Structure 1
Amino acid sequence: MRSIPFVKLQGSGNDFILLEPNSRSRIPMSKPFIEKICDRRFGVGADGVLLMEASQKADVRMRIFNADGSEAEMCGNGARCLALYFFHSSGRKAFSIETGAGLLAASITEDGIKIRMTDPKDIRLDLCVKAAGKEYNVDFVDTGVPHAVIEVSDVAKVPVTRLGRLLRSHDIFSPAGTNVDFIQRQADGSVNIRTYERGVEDETLACGTGSVAAAVISVINHEGCGTKPHMKHRVCVKTKSGDVLCVYFTMSKKKIFDVWLEGQARVVFRGKYLSG
C-alpha cells in the first residue's frame, strides 16, 4: 500500500487535492485513481486534482484533472490554489503559470490571489438551445474552457444539476461539451452565479472560469461591446459558497483582454492518502 502526501486547498469553496511534487513518482495518474481520491465518501473528496510540474515556458506548470478523471485545459480557482501553494513553497509573490489553455500570470495581493487569465474567445450570443421540450437563450464563451451562460430572474430557483446536465452535452456544444452557468445580474452590476461543471458533473460551490464568463457576458448584454476604445470593467461575482470573486477586464469593440480573476484561496489541511 502506497502512502501519498497531498495538500487540500479550496478557492471560494471549489476544492482541490494538490499532490505533493516529490510524491509524483509513486502516483499512478489513472482515471480510477483520480475518481477514488476525489470521492467524498471513500476518498479525500474534491472537485479535482492539481499537479504542479516544471515548465520550459513559465515558472511552473499546472495540470488539472476533474473528479471524473478527465484532464481539463484550465481551471481558474485551481490556478489560484496552485498559486497559493507555489507562494508558500517559494516565497515569490509574482510568477507565471503554464496551463493547457495558455500562460497565466499570478500575483499575491492583500485581497487574495490574482490570476491573469487567457483572453476570452469564441463568443457566440443568443443561441437557441432546445432541451427537454423547452427553448433556452444561451450565450457561449471560452474563458480557457467552454462556458454556456444563461441569464435568469432568480438564480436561487434554478434546478442547476438537472438543467445543467441536459445542456452540458447538447449537440450545439459537441464534441467537448460545456460548463453551464446560470447568472442573475443585480442593480449595481454585480452578478450572482451558480455553475454546473463539466468533469465534476454536478453543481460546484464556485467556478473561476465561470465567473469570468458571467462577468463578460453580463457586460456585453447590458452595457454593449465597448463604446470607447478601451473600456475597463470590474464585476463582482457572488458564488454559491457566498464568496465573491472579482473579475477585471478591458473591452474594445473587437476584443476583450487583460482579464484578471481575484479572490481568496486557503490551505485546508495536509495529509497522506493510502492507495493500493
Structure 2
Amino acid sequence: MAGGPAVDAVREQIRQWLAEDIGSGDVTTMAAVPAGHLSQGVIHTKQSGIIAGLPLARLVFSVVDPGLRFDQYVTDGDFAEKGTVLALVEGSTHSILTGERLSLNLLQRLSGIASKTNRYVSAAAGLPVRISDTRKTTPGHRTLEKYAVRAGGGANHRFGLYDAVMIKDNHIKAAGGIAAAVRAVKSRIPHTMMIEVEAENLMQAEEAAQAGAHIIMLDNMNTEMMIEAVTLIRRLASHIVIEASGGITEERIAEIGRCGVDVISVGGLTHSFQALDISLDLNGIKKEALL
C-alpha cells in the first residue's frame, strides 16, 4: 500500500481480526455451500465517494486463501460514482464468503474517512491552509485511519505522544504556566523536535509566542478572536505555524481558512465519520440469497 503502513505488520493485524471473526470456522458457509464451489465476487460501491482500503481488502482475501484472485479497478484516493465496480475476487466460494465481512469493514470505514476528509479539503479549496487529522482515532487502527485521511487529500498531525511536543491545558496547569512548560520541554527534548502550545485565549497565544513555541494551536476560538490571535502572533513571530482546532465543522472551514491560519485540525475526520456503503455480490446475485 503505497505511502501506507508496512505490509507485514498489517498482515499480522488481519490474521488477528480474522481469528476474532472466524473463531473455529465459518459454520454457515461450511454448512450451506458445497466444498469446492467457485464464485466471482463483485465489490461495488452503493454510494459515491473517495475510495480507500482496496489494498487492505486484497490482503484480507490473500490471508484467507492465497489462491484467490483479486483484480482492482480503482486506486485509493480516486472518486467513485455510485455503482462503480471497485474490484473482483475470484476462487473458492468458502474463502470469499469467509473474508467478505472483514474486507468490507475495512474498505467501508477507510473510504468513509477519506470521503469526509475530501469534503473538508474541498471546502478549503483556494485557501493557503491544510486540513489535518488528530490523535482521535480508533485504538489499534491509527495508522490505517491516518492513511485514509491522506487518501482523501488531508494531512497527518503527530502520530503519537512520541514524535512531537504538544503542550495542552493540563500540561500548562501541571507545569505552572505556558512559559514554564516551554522552558522545561526545551531543556529535555532534542533540538530537532517541534513544540506546539494550545492557546484558548489571546493572553495564552501571546505567552506561547513569546515563550518560543514553534506551533500555536488556537483552540475553540470564535472567528473574531481567531483573527485577533493570528494578527498578534504574526506581529510577535512571523515564522510560527498557526493551527485552528476544536469543534471544526465543514461549514466553517472556509471562514476559518480566511482568518490566516496555516492548519485546521479536525478530530471528526476519524472519530465521527459515516462509513461508505460498499457491497460484495456473488456473480451478480445478492449475497443475501445464500442465507
TM-score past 0.5 threshold: no
TM-score (structure 1 length as normaliser): 0.25
Q: Judging by fraction of residues, say which structure has more strand.
A: 1
Structure with bigger gyration radius: 2
Q: Judging by fraction of residues, say which structure has more helix.
A: 2
TM-score (structure 2 length as normaliser): 0.25
